[in-house]
A and B are shown apart, each in its own frame.
Chain A
Amino acid sequence: MPIYTAPLKDQQFILHDVLKITAQTDVPGYDELDRETTEAILGEAAKLAENVLAPLNAVGDEEGCTLENGVVRTPKGFKDAFDQVRDGGWTALDCDPEYGGQGLPYLVSTAVGEMFSSANMAFNMYQGLTHGAYNAIHAHGSDDQKRTYLPKMVTCEWGGTMNLTEPHCGTDLGLIRTKAVPNGDGSYAISGQKIWISAGEHDMCDNIIHLVLAKLPDAPAGVKGISLFIVPKFMVNDDGSLGERNSLSCGGLEMKMGIHGNATCVMNYDGATGFLVGEAHKGMRAMFTMMNEARLGVGLQGYAQGAVAYQNALGFAQDRLQGRDVTGTKAPEKPADPIIVHPDVRRNLMDQKSFVEGARAFTFWGASLIDRSHRAHDADAEGLVSLMTPVIKGFLTDKGFETTVLAQQTLGGSGFTREWGLEQFVRDARITMIYEGTNGIQSLDLVGRKLGQDGGKHVMAFFEMVKSFIADHKGQDADFDKQFLDPLKAASKDLQAAGMYFMQNGMKNPNNALAGSYDFMHLFGHVCLGLMWARMAWAAREALAAGAGDTEFYETKQATGRYYMARQLPMTGTHLARIQSGADTVMALDAANF
């Protein structure tokens, strides 16, 4: 059985040494997040993650969900654990106090989300989807809708879902066929089939509030004709009590590679009563509000699976005896040395560790930008996080999955067996690269929309930020310059060169941009992690200089950063070369010749 230990110290380091949140006094709510407060919150969340959620991870995988007579049963223990999570107030963490939320910053919910996701990703999705639906209604619903649905969604007494995908369309939502016909009383009759709806039906909530994309009779063609509807499983009476069952049902559960504990449902709407959210035909816009945060949440799931997989790989590497250290025996009393002595095992572990810690910093930084944009109404922060969102989603899930595979490799044959649990992390992590917009689509979003957004202002701001970080820190420590600032500068130059290539070659042939978009997303991701490592190494240096007691911790941070800069960041050169080779070789074959 795999173990999970919440990374409290690492999280605290990012919150307080790197992001210095209490010093960000212009973000309301950050001032009360001193070390003791976050320690208390995260410490208690860690107990739940370690003792309640993690032990159910393998159970959920083995047992999966079952559908009988339209009722979906979640795995044994899920309901009790769900009650514990909501009774503890964790589902309300960053929700609006007006609807019963705790009103804490999104950053705190990100830290807690990482622990819950690492401990049990399939389980945490029930809450995650509810939160996404909460966000959409909160941002676009009428006052009446907010009063009716939000309080119960904050507590997760009612669940929430997002219904976009249909059998014939997932990426290209302009093709959806689900219809919404006015009933004449302000409500609509929703008819159609949605597939792969996560948490579409289950036994942990009294009601489920489905958010459904559908087309009105007079809808313009394509994505400009999509509207968003609230379609509750049980109708809600004026006094808030539950009324009759709506005409919708779960028509089947998908058999799938991973996240078995999460019900992936076919949802049939047979003239179900729905209520328009926001304006007619503006449903995609409403959906996108929740998608930005949802995509950050998926990026988080990706590295969170990498994080728990790494912990288990590390434990194995310290115990498993195999071969001798070629530079001299380390454990003469034993038949062999622990495999952690071997350079190739080290490489493997360092790739995992340096990615996970960099990804955590990157995601927390993204979350802090969300707080800055929501709480301090900072438009620049909003632009920056909108630029970063596809990078966080695409890069962190690709690399998070890769990390689970690396961790599996550390275990040799044991990694392939059920018993050790590593193979579950691999299977569970895989979906993060697909849903919430495939990673290919994330790269298109990045190159096609986000780069040029507001005249390219946000990407310029990013470059400016890297430049000023280098300028502000240069010349104070020759080693730091050489190990961190020089590589960061080189990587950032590669990123600029790639952007330049798109500008010069993408106009005359868009394929030149689209064939390079995936590499660009990875190139961007590496520069971001390089920046994060430079920031973390500097923060560690400051802490050491200030006489912080835990020298081992801070020196380990610096050493891990040096590894990333030396062994991972050079990938930017490869990505640039691939981008600059253009679309010709990519598009050379006739489709018939593949």
Chain B
Amino acid sequence: MKVLVPVKRVIDYNVKVRVKADGSGVDLANVKMSMNPFDEIAVEEAIRLKEAGKADEVVAVSIGVKQAQETLRTALAMGADRAILIVAADDVHTDIEPLAVAKILAKVIEDEKPGLVICGKQAIDNDLGATGQMLSALLGWSQATYANKVDIDGENAVVTREVDGGLQTIKVKMPTVITTDLRLNEPRYASLPNIMKAKKKPLDEKTAADLGVDVTPRLTVVETAEPAGRAAGIMVGSVDELVAKLKETGAV
């Protein structure tokens, strides 16, 4: 079975995000970019399936700017076998919306015919959390989102999901789209020999136009603003006073 893992290049989770002076978005010029952490978990899960003999090839796909090559190399260094880059923008500030990403992925999947897609549950830049679901709908495949545990048994996937108030285990028919939650696994660090080998692994490049997908944004960003600063605290004398204050301010 072939596993396809979409990975997104996003602002590194350690970077202190700065809003652009004109409020049009977040400043991404010259800041450190990395693989979306949930996608790292997806890559890790796919590699583990391969190591367990349940998959025989792991293909990483990224959609975005040319520099997403580096993100794909990271996936290759972790253990993916090959990579596909779909160049869909030339400005690092252009965010390709989930529907366009899902459409592009659907096209790639038409060619690649994987038995399983594992993606992150959301990207930490726009936090939309929609690509996996849209992709499953476009493909007419089953979906298992927010995975915390994955078991593949031939025809089916048994997936434990993180839901409000606890865990839910479901069984879905393969092929399926799984989206990963934080506790599914702990992604490995790439080893030095694998980083060097990754340089020689195949990385194909196409454009969104090649696949005939229109990536024109359908959403308009009205404004981007820094979160309000934290207000000064106050000292309270007792638990009762604390509870009273919380009620008074409408916090509880």
Contacts and interface: CB of A to CB of B under 8 A. Distances in A.
Interface of A: 5, 8-9, 32, 36-37, 39-41, 43-44, 47-48, 84, 87-90, 92-93, 102, 104, 549-550, 552-553
Interface of B: 14, 29-30, 32, 34, 69-70, 73-74, 77, 189-196, 198-199
Nearest to B31: A550
Contacts of A37: 199
Contacts of B29: 549-550
B189 A102 contact: no
B192 A5 contact: no
Contacts of B73: 36, 40
A84 B191 CA distance: 9
Given A88-B190, A89-B193, A102-B192, 19 more contacts: A5-B14, A9-B32, A32-B199, A36-B69, A37-B199, A40-B74, A40-B195, A41-B195, A44-B77, A44-B192, A44-B195, A47-B189, A88-B191, A89-B191, A89-B192, A89-B194, A93-B192, A550-B30, A553-B30
A8 B32 contact: yes
Contacts of A43: 34, 74
A527 B29 CA distance: 35
Contacts of A41: 192, 195
A48 B189 contact: yes
B34 to A, nearest CB: 8
A87 B194 CA distance: 11
B30 to A, nearest CB: 4
A102 B196 contact: yes
Contacts of A40: 70, 73-74, 77, 190, 195, 198
Contacts of B192: 41, 44, 88-90, 92-93, 102, 104
B229 to A, nearest CB: 9
A90 B195 CA distance: 11
Nearest to A34: B199
Contacts of B77: 40, 44
Which of B34, B192, B195, B199 is packed against the most chain A CB atoms within 10 Å?
Answer: B192
A20 B29 CA distance: 23
Which of A41, A44, A92 is packed against the most chain B CB atoms within 10 Å?
Answer: A44
Contact of A44 (B14, B32, B189, B199): B189
A319 B29 CA distance: 26
Contacts of A32: 199
Nearest to A108: B192
A102 B190 CA distance: 14
Contacts of A92: 192
Contacts of B191: 87-89
Nearest to B187: A47
A37 B52 CA distance: 30
B159 to A, nearest CB: 28
22 contacts: A5-B14, A36-B69, A36-B73, A37-B199, A39-B70, A40-B198, A41-B192, A43-B74, A44-B189, A44-B195, A47-B189, A48-B189, A88-B190, A88-B191, A88-B192, A89-B192, A89-B193, A102-B192, A104-B192, A549-B29, A550-B29, A552-B30
Nearest to A40: B195
Contacts of B196: 102, 104
A24 to B, nearest CB: 19
A550 B192 CA distance: 29
A552 B73 CA distance: 28
A587 to B, nearest CB: 53
Contact of A84 (B30, B70, B189, B194): B189
Contacts of B70: 36, 39-40
B30 A44 contact: no
A552 to B, nearest CB: 8
Nearest to B190: A44
A9 B31 CA distance: 10
Nearest to A52: B189
A355 B176 CA distance: 56
A89 B189 CA distance: 11
Contacts of B32: 8-9
A9 B192 CA distance: 20
A548 to B, nearest CB: 9
A311 to B, nearest CB: 13
Nearest to B229: A333
Contacts of B193: 89, 102
A553 B77 CA distance: 29
A551 to B, nearest CB: 9
A549 B30 contact: yes
A330 to B, nearest CB: 15
Which of A89, A92, A104, A550 is packed against the most chain B CB atoms within 10 Å?
Answer: A89
List 6 A-B pairs, minimum CB-CB distance, nearest first.
A89-B192, A550-B30, A88-B191, A89-B191, A89-B193, A44-B190
Contacts of A93: 192
A37 B192 CA distance: 11
A36 B32 CA distance: 13
Nearest to B193: A89
Contacts of A88: 189-192
A39 B67 CA distance: 12
A54 B192 CA distance: 20
Nearest to A548: B30
A102 B193 CA distance: 7
Which of A39, A41, A88 is packed against the most chain B CB atoms within 10 Å?
Answer: A88
Contacts of A48: 189
B120 to A, nearest CB: 18
